[in-house]
Amino acid sequence: MHSSNPIHNTPPLSPKKETVLLRKPDEETLNGEMSAEGTQVQLQELLSTIKPEVTGIGPYCADVHWTIPDLSNLSSEKGISESSLQFEVFLNGCSYDKVTDTNLALTNLRPGTEYKLYIVCFCNGIRAYQTAKQSFSTKPTVPDPPQPPRLVDRKKQSLLLKWNAPKENGAKILHYSLEMKGGHLNTWTEIYRNKNKEFLITKLRPQTSYRFRLLANNEVGNSEYSPEIIATTVGLAPTQPNPPCLEETTVHSLKLSWQQRSSDESFSLEMDDACNEYGFMPVFSGSETSFTCHNLRRNSDYRFRNINGKSPYSEIACYRTLPDIPQPPSVPMMKGKHLSDRLCLTWSPPRDHGGIPVSNYLLQIDKGSGFETIYYGPVTECEVTSLSAGSTYRFRCLAESVGGKSKWSAEALLTTKPVVPGPCKPPRLLAKPKAHTLQLKWGYPEYEGGASVTEFQMDMITPDTERRQVYCGRDLECTVASLLPGRAYMFLLRASNRIGAGPWSEPYEVVSGAGPPDTPKPPLLACKGPHVVVVSWDEPINNGASIEQYVVNMAELKRFLPSTLEWFQRDSLIVVQVSCPNTESSESSSTCGDMESELTYVTAYTGSMVCASNVAGAGPFSSSASVTTPAAPPASVAHITSSPEATEATLYWTEPACHGDPISHYNIEVGERTVSTPGPVLEFTVDQLLPETMYKLRIQAVNSVGPSPFSGVHKLTTQPLPPPPPRIELVKASFNSLRLKWGEGRNPELLKYCLQMECYNPHTKISDGTNHSFKVGKLEENSTYRLRICASNEAGLGPFSDPLEFTTTKAPPPPIKAPRISEGDDKSYCVEWCGVRCPGEDHIIYRLQVLQSGKDQDYSLVHVGSESSYTLKDLKPQTGYYVRVCGVRMCGDKEVVAGAYSSPTLFNTPKVEEVETPVGPTCTAKKQSLEWHLLTDHQKALAILALFSLLAFVAAYVLSPSPQA
């Protein structure tokens, strides 16, 4: 469907403002794009050839249709089909609609208007060029119906009417036709036909109504008639109207109405306010027959009168506004003394009574179930009875008058005076009674006296009738402690609020539970050996329950140090815990310890942890009693570790318990021999062992009492012997490095070699790895160095070899830069070079060599000396020569060290000038032949290149086409 927007939104396109969305490119541009974009450009050009045709043109609509060009040549390449085409129709440069069909109905067009139409086609996202523009014009039609004429002026016998021009719809309006009906004309009669847009109708009857209608005419025809209007000529002055009547009255407004007679056309209403001195003032003027006066004062009188046109004033009517509802009274307040069962309330009248005095007041109370009325009358105070003490109530009131009821006042929260709480229920047990404590709980009293309970007080009556307070607080439970087991106690409870304390509750009696036995007397300790202590004690008081068992704890207390003759305090450590049930005898005993390791020697032990227990629990422990056990041989050694090597092994172990006497030394059993340590050491090295041999070892500790049992067997295997060192050989020596090698070139055992050089350390490691060679760099010339080497494997590091001495050579002179050549005046050439230095007191001489280009194969020595320049003479003319130089170090021991030669420098001697003498052809050819032989290779190459360039230029000139061809 096409767009619903009317075409009036897009006015006809002006020729100067016509917008071109996309112009068809010229031929050159199209050819360039066809070569670059190919099929896309071809499709755009083909779709731009569509020619739209417009048919069925009417005043407001037209039909447009077009034909799709043949796309068969492009369909196989891009998948282009007619179903993939979309057409956007543009009307006067603005988009009208997008369709997929090849026809479109144009609607909402303007009659008699010229339009320009073109189409832009889209295919698979490709936008084609716009088609050629098609122009068409809609047909004109009759004008639109004109607006009704306006009455401009009226008199007794004439009426002046005016009107506006309607839309012409494509053809100019020729004339207007005005028709009239009424008075002496019972049918519509044309009274005016012309182009003017106003007309004065005369010869009319006074005070008579007439009907008028208008139409417009153009070359197509007449328009429809305009809506009718009624106009009345002026008549005689009207009679006095009736006074206005009151229809509705409110607090601030009065609605008045009046009757309309046949001669009445307009009305004017005036009002007189007695509060001002202006008299009657107009408040309304118009043709309506009713009016509402707003913003009036409440409960006030107003006078009104009206006039119809030029008639005399009506009689005066007086009306009164209604009174307003009063404002709410003040918040109810308490008056007089604060009581617990009644309240005396009072309130103030409202500040604004609404224009009339208040007749009654309404008071309500909310006791928790909603508001209820408790007073209705004209007095501003009220006494409320039958209230609960300490309760909070909500009060509100309103004022009532002839104007209505006011809103409720703000609510007042008033509370009666509270009293002391009522009696509490007796407390009760929260848990099972215990020997020394009772857990009690209770609840709030049924009546709290109108104030929150602030605290509870509980008193206890002991078995000897002593009464004391055991709790005071806000919690609902407590624990009573410091009780005697198996006794009867009585408890009383009362609650308190901010007024005071309430009455005591009924007494509650409860019996405490059984308690643990009392503390036993200190036990008696008797030592019967290093590992046995006999403990005995008397039976304590059982506190109401028979004793079921005893618990005895032995703890190490002190250790005696013979060297200082003092007891050394140690941390308390539970060594043994024995349960000894005995419920029949008053004397009990227990034997603690065993012969293995429960008790140590020369150590103080205490039986202070003896206690008795029954069904109520265990009693407190007795006071301490001590005993000292005798000393014994040490405990056996445990946790032995070793670090074996090839011929020795180091043993490590932890110190065993000495059992009261210090360990003097250890015995180590190695195979069939026994070795003693020099003292109580915890590590020892056993030597004289065989490599790669397994040994079994045992260790025992010895003190003054005797030896301990041997430890468990510890097995170890010695390591193999380390490998012997290889022999170092010198491969190559230079002035700053030494190339060394060792071994046979193979390393199947993966031995590691450590090469060291004697320095200030005195030896420094310079190589460590499995390589069989190493280059020692950064050395000094003509210096002797001492080196040694060792090999290592899993067994360890082997011995170092005997140090060997190696000497570096003397350094040759540094290389010399290429010499410089300068030509002298006597056809000689001076060769110069930069001198070099050598370390020490040795001096440098130089060797200069010359090579003739193209003749000699080897350089020839031309100069030896200490100078840095030399002059070459008697050289062949027009000949190339290479020169190079090197430095030679002359050592003090008559040793000669030659350095590297410099880069060669090439120079050419010039051609010799000859005297011109007449010669024949034979001599000339011979001279030319000799001259060619005298040229250098470089000159010959340039001559050959110039000759070939000349031949190429001649050939190109000969083979080039002539201008005529």
Q: Does residue 510 sit within a domain?
A: no
CATH number at residue 117: 2.60.40.10
Residue 932 pLDDT class (50, 70, 90 cuts): low
Q: Retrieve residue 264's tokens.
A: 């009445």
315 domain residue, yes or no: yes
Domain span at 886: 820-908
Higher pLDDT, 62 or 389: 62
What radius of gyration do the chain's Cα atoms show? 70
* 471 shares a domain with 434: yes
Taking only the tens place, the pLDDT of each residue in 555-573 is 766 554 444 434 444 444 4
Residues 856 and 881 in one domain: yes
DSSP state of 562: T
Question: In the listed set 82, 107, 138, which residue is the last one of a domain according to the structure?
Answer: 138
DSSP code per residue over 654-703:
PPPP-TTS-EEEEEEEETTEEEE-SSS-SEEEE-S--TT-EEEEEEEEEE
143 within a domain of the structure (yes/no) = no
Q: β-pairing, 126-127 with 114-123? A: antiparallel
Q: How far is it, in rounded angstroms, from Cα 398 to Cα 349?
A: 9
The verdict on 645 and 711 lying in the same domain is: yes
Tokens linked to 816: 């010399």
Specify the DSSP element, H or E, that contains 965. none
Q: How confident is the model at residue 605 (pLDDT cuts 50, 70, 90)?
A: low
Whether residue 217 lies inside any domain: the answer is yes
- In whole angstroms, what is the distance from residue 52 CA to residue 54 CA? 7
pLDDT band of residue 574 (cuts 50, 70, 90) is very low
253 and 299 assigned to the same domain: yes
Tell me the average pLDDT of the chain.
82
pTM comes to 0.33
| pLDDT tens sequence across 639-689 | 899 988 888 899 999 999 888 789 999 999 998 888 999 999 999 999 888
Same domain as 161, residue 85: no
Distance of CA 576 to the CA centre of its chain: 62
pLDDT higher than 60, residue 119: yes
Q: Which helix (H) or strand (E) holds 344?
A: strand 343-346
Cα→Cα distances 321→214, 269, 292, 359, Å: 50, 18, 12, 19
- Distance CA(962)–CA(802), nearest Å, equals 97
- What's the CA gap between 535 and 554, in Å, rounded? 10
Does the structure show a pLDDT above 90 at 507? yes
Quick: pLDDT tens for 393-434: 999 999 999 888 999 999 999 888 888 888 999 999 988 888
End-to-end Cα distance, the chain: 68
Burial class (CB in 10 A: 0-12, 13-18, 19+), 60: middle
Residues 196 and 134 in one domain: no
> Of 41-55, 323-337, 399-413, 759-773, which gets the smallest average pLDDT?
759-773
Question: Which residues share a beta bridge with 215?
Answer: 177
Q: Which of 291, 320, 349 is at the close of a domain?
A: 320
Cβ 139 vs Cβ 59: under 8 Å: yes
Q: What pLDDT shows up at residue 512? A: 85
Domain boundary (389, 415, 441) is at 415
Compute the 3-state secondary structure of the chain and give helix, strand, coil in percent, each to the nearest 5: 5, 40, 50
Q: List all residues 6 or more positions away from 916 whose beta carbon is below 8 Å from its beta carbon.
A: none
The pair of three-digit structure tokens given for residue 31, joined into one six-digit string: 């050819």
434 and 411 part of one domain: no
Are both 732 and 711 inside the same structural domain?
A: no
In the three-class reduction of DSSP (H, G, I as helix; E, B as strand; rest coil), residue 954 is classed as helix
pLDDT digits (tens, 9 = 90+) for 786-842: 999 998 887 778 888 888 899 998 888 888 889 999 888 777 889 999 988 877 778
- CA dist 685 and 822 (Å) reads 85
- Whether residue 961 is contained in a domain is answered as no
User: What pLDDT does residue 78 have?
Assistant: 55
Mark whether 742 and 796 lie in a shared domain.
yes
Claim to verify: residue 353 and residue 411 sit in the same structural domain = yes
Hey, how many other C-beta atoms are within 10 angstroms of the C-beta on 170? 20
532 and 625 share a domain? yes
The count of domains in the chain is 9
**893 with 825, same domain?**
yes
